[in-house]
Amino acid sequence: MKSDKDLPPGVPHLADDVVQGRRLRSAVQRAEPTGRLGDTLELVEQMAAVTRSQEQIYAVIERLTGLRFGELQALSAVADGAEHARAVARMTGQVDAAAEVTIDGLVRRGLLARHAHPAEPAGGTASLVHLTPSGTVALQQAEALQVRLLDSVLASLDAEESDRLRAAVDRVAAATDRQRPVLAGLIAGAS
């Protein structure tokens, strides 16, 4: 596969995150399936159902708050310490350009505000962002709605079903965490 460096002059270079995504997809496509492929395919379907359920919850949150999922992710990333569009992009899984567009929209709506880096001279470029009081309230409201909606879902389960669900989610999260080095190796091997 040719890299951006092989492009003729005047042809725009691909963003690093786009190239990295292509490399990862290529590495995953070359990986050999395990002997439990049937179980894996069934789990993919079940996880897709969970994703659809999550999407329904976020659709309700969007309808009630006017904030899309990506905007909530960006607000949450800033609340967790991301001050630059690149940091927001990394924390949310967006490409840099998409994070910048999301941030611009949140700034226009008054949920984020821009400020200069402390090391910038007076009057320097305001390249960093922080939550405004309105942004903090909007994020808190969205998080509260998410808790209430998930609580109503859990309320439909009996105690044993709820415990099994939480245990299964914990096991999947732990297994995914254990696989991080393998996934990182796939990414590095694709470079």
Label residue 186 by pLDDT band (50, 70, 90). low
Closest CA to 50 of 118, 150, 121, 127: 150
Tell whether 164 is covered by a domain.
no
Q: What is the pLDDT of residue 1?
A: 44
pLDDT in tens, 23-67: 666 666 666 777 787 888 888 898 898 889 889 999 999 999 999
* DSSP symbol at 129: E
Whole-model pTM: value is 0.70
Domain count, the chain: 1
Q: What are phi and psi of 125, to 5 degrees?
A: -65, 130
Q: Looking at 95-99, 133-137, 150-154, which range is the least confident one? A: 150-154
Tell whether 37 is covered by a domain.
no
Is pLDDT above 80 for 169? yes
Mean pLDDT of all residues in 147-159: 91
Mean pLDDT of all residues in 74-93: 95
**Position of tokens 């395919």?**
41
DSSP string, 32-67: PP-TTHHHHHHHHHHHHHHHHHHHHHHHHHHHHH--
Tell whether 132 is covered by a domain.
yes
Label residue 11 by pLDDT band (50, 70, 90). very low
Share of the chain above pLDDT 70, in %: 80
Tell whether 144 is covered by a domain.
yes
Is pLDDT above 60 for 143? yes
Report strand pairing: 128-131 vs 112-115. antiparallel
Q: Which CATH number characterizes residue 66's domain? A: 1.10.10.10
Tell me how far apart the alpha carbons of residues 135 and 107 are, in angstroms, rounded to a whole number.
9
Q: What is the pLDDT of residue 5?
A: 52
Tell whether 185 is covered by a domain.
no
Q: What is the pLDDT of residue 2?
A: 45
Is pLDDT above 70 for 8? no
Tell whether 8 is covered by a domain.
no
Q: What is the pLDDT of residue 117?
A: 82
> Are 31 and 186 in contact, with CB atoms under 8 Å apart?
yes
Tell whether 177 is covered by a domain.
no
Q: Which residue has the higher pLDDT, 32 or 104?
A: 104
Tell whether 172 is covered by a domain.
no
Positive or negative torsion for Cα 143, 147, 153, 154: positive
Q: Which domain holds residue 144?
A: 42-150
**Position of tokens 């329904």?**
56
Is pLDDT above 90 for 137? yes
